[in-house]
Chain A
Amino acid sequence: MLLKHFFSAALLLAAFSARAAQDLPWHLGAVDAKASAPAAINTNKIPPGPHRVVVAVIDSGILAGHPSLNGQLLPGYDMLSAPNNLRGGRSTDFSPDERDARCGQRLISGAFRTHGTEVASLIAANGVDGAYGVNPSAKILPIRLFGACSMSRVDLLDAIAWSAGLPVPGVPDNPHPAKIINMSIAGGLSVCGADLQRLISRVIEKKIFVVAAAGNNFHKPLPEPANCNGVISVGALDAENHIEVYSALDPRTVLYAPGGGKHLSSDAYWAVNKLMVATYDLDFLGKEKSTALERGVGTSFAAPVVAGFISLWLSYNPNKQPSDLSRELPKFLRQVEPLSKCAECVPKGLTANAGITQP
């Protein structure tokens, strides 16, 4: 048993050393700090701490066979209920459904199928294929909530409850409750509903961090779940530290992180301004193959960068809770270019330093 832990630690260290020796995706920072993208979170030189952190990813499902997520996934759940689930109902199969390109006459982009896999990779990818998570020692708890058809609010509430280890009628107990819940989702009500707020408050009382995308609504106010009290809402920055034009713009936004977008005019290596994610592409025969691509654009991708950052902090300080983060956040904050459109918005970006490893 001890030997097993030793080998795991050695493998992790070797992976991290290899990672530190090469140039990483721009959002994590460069080996030479001066060459880092202005919006990089600079976690590249901070190896994961000794504690394993479970991060729930409530999304479109995760393709478990991706090499970048090998060894990173816990048994998850498909929380999408009938009749919206083309498989007929809830099950332990958390992978996306191959039929998710359309639901009757409703058409969806192919990017939908890989969304959850891409989001999970930003948190915990192991570096295979070139996709690196912020905290490769984190474990992902996959929860599928979206298919091509609609979903219900009950499914969302059950997904959050199950992630947190709360009982959900008809669903086996979750043996691996999450410490962080990432929701790269948006919609619902313009004011957080009482049902959702009640559940989120209960989850936060259990010392669980709830992270949600601010939404890609082109500067409108926060949707649910980002607009609920206690949620760490995340807006998107470009590589040069400007708030992206598609990001929600709301004084309640807690943090901003790299979310990518338009190609930048700079000739710097980060000008591509898209996040490197583990994903799938078609080969010349039209067959799906795993790969890593600079493809991530949106607050969907900014949120897991923050979830990964918090998991890295918790890997050193496993007993910290959401109120501690609010208190200690100033250590990791960096000013972001403000927007004249929202004078009362105080945009805050994240950047790592040695404080992340200290109690």
Chain B
Amino acid sequence: MKRSLLLTLLISCSAIADPVWHCSRNAQSAMEVSASAQEDQFSLASFSSTMDVIGVSISDLIDVYSGVPVRIGGLPLSACFMPGNENLTSAALTSLGLQPAAIQALARRSAIIQSNLHIVTSDAQMLSCIARHFPAVGYLDEPHETQDSQPCF
């Protein structure tokens, strides 16, 4: 009994929330988007779900975090990466089939070769990274909606 209780406790302690993918919001006026009713908000199933954010696909997420260049509307897509939050980063990147350590090495190298992977150290920096490097994607452990970013899947 004690053993199973301990096991349950251990599992619940190690459990982490699912990562929430965030994308840059379009520069389009907020009014124009809100005028579009939810019943009209459809997208291709592989793409981000609202018209309010840049249109990216799951495949784009996999590519950009692998260091493969992705262009959105002709602009290079940036990916924000938070290695300090190991549990969240591990959950986010392994869900894409990627190894956080490999991404970290890639991100360090990207500082030299001007690639589009950016390391951040906190949730606030993650949101700021997504805003600063438009168009960009990132992940957080809960949904945040700001003027420049919002959950996108």
Among A13-21, A66-74, A102-110, A326-334, the stretch that binds chain B is A102-110
Contact A107 B46 (CB under 8 A): no
Contact B60 A217 (CB under 8 A): no
Contact A216 B42 (CB under 8 A): no
CA distance in complex: A321, B55 (Å):
36
A210 on the B face (CB < 8 A): no
Within 8 A of A (CB), among B70-90: 70-75, 77
Instruction: Choose from B38, B57, B95, B97 the contact partner of A298 (Cβ within 8 Å).
Output: B57
CA distance in complex: A143, B40 (Å):
18
| A152-B44 contact in complex given A106-B55, A107-B72, A187-B49, C-beta closer than 8 Å | no
- B75 and chain A: residue at smallest CB distance: A107
Contact A111 B59 (CB under 8 A): yes
Whole-angstrom distance between the Cβ of A26 and the nearest chain B Cβ: 16
Contact A59 B44 (CB under 8 A): yes
Contact B42 A188 (CB under 8 A): yes
Contact B45 A186 (CB under 8 A): yes
Interface size class on chain A is 35 or more
The A-B contact count (CB < 8 A) is 147
Contact B26 A107 (CB under 8 A): yes
> Helix, strand, loop or mixed for chain B's interface?
loop
B27 on the A face (CB < 8 A): yes
| A301-B40 contact in complex given A107-B135, A108-B73, C-beta closer than 8 Å | no
Instruction: Choose from B38, B60, B96, B153 the contact partner of A111 (Cβ within 8 Å).
Output: B60
Determine the chain B residues whose CB is within 8 A of the CB of A245 once the complex forms: 95
B56 on the A face (CB < 8 A): yes
Contact A109 B70 (CB under 8 A): yes
Interface size class on chain B is 35 or more
Instruction: Choose from A156, A264, A298 the contact partner of B45 (Cβ within 8 Å).
Output: A298
- B97 and chain A: residue at smallest CB distance: A262
Interface 1/0s, chain A 180-199, versus B by CB < 8 A? 00001111110001000000
A112 on the B face (CB < 8 A): yes
Whole-angstrom distance between the Cβ of A145 and the nearest chain B Cβ: 8
- B37 and chain A: residue at smallest CB distance: A153
Contact B47 A188 (CB under 8 A): no
Contact B98 A262 (CB under 8 A): yes
Contact A185 B43 (CB under 8 A): yes
A142 on the B face (CB < 8 A): no
- B36 and chain A: residue at smallest CB distance: A150
Contact A261 B97 (CB under 8 A): yes
CA distance in complex: A102, B77 (Å):
14
CA distance in complex: A218, B49 (Å):
11
- B20 and chain A: residue at smallest CB distance: A218
Instruction: Choose from B18, B44, B56 the contact partner of A60 (Cβ within 8 Å).
Output: B44
CA distance in complex: A206, B44 (Å):
26
Whole-angstrom distance between the Cβ of A130 and the nearest chain B Cβ: 19
Determine the chain B residues whose CB is within 8 A of the CB of A301 once the complex forms: 46
Determine the chain B residues whose CB is within 8 A of the CB of A216 once the complex forms: 45-47, 58, 153
Contact A151 B95 (CB under 8 A): no
- B95 and chain A: residue at smallest CB distance: A245
CA distance in complex: A295, B95 (Å):
17
Q: Which of A111, A216, A223, A297 has the most CB of B within 10 A?
A: A111
Contact B97 A102 (CB under 8 A): no
| A109-B42 contact in complex given A187-B49, A262-B62, A273-B97, C-beta closer than 8 Å | no
- A102 and chain B: residue at smallest CB distance: B73
Within 8 A of B (CB), among A319-353: none
Whole-angstrom distance between the Cβ of A244 and the nearest chain B Cβ: 9
Contact B41 A295 (CB under 8 A): no
CA distance in complex: A218, B28 (Å):
26
| A246-B40 contact in complex given A218-B153, A299-B46, C-beta closer than 8 Å | no
17 A-B residue pairs with Cβ-Cβ distance under 8 Å, sorted by A, are A106-B26, A108-B47, A108-B72, A108-B73, A109-B71, A111-B60, A153-B40, A184-B46, A185-B43, A187-B50, A188-B42, A218-B153, A296-B59, A297-B46, A297-B57, A297-B58, A300-B44
Q: Enumerate chain A interface residues (CB-CB to B < 8 A).
A: 59-60, 101-102, 104-112, 115, 146, 148, 150-153, 156, 184-189, 193, 213-219, 223-224, 245-246, 261-264, 273-274, 295-301, 303
7 tightest A-B contacts by CB? A262-B97, A107-B73, A298-B46, A108-B55, A213-B45, A187-B42, A105-B27
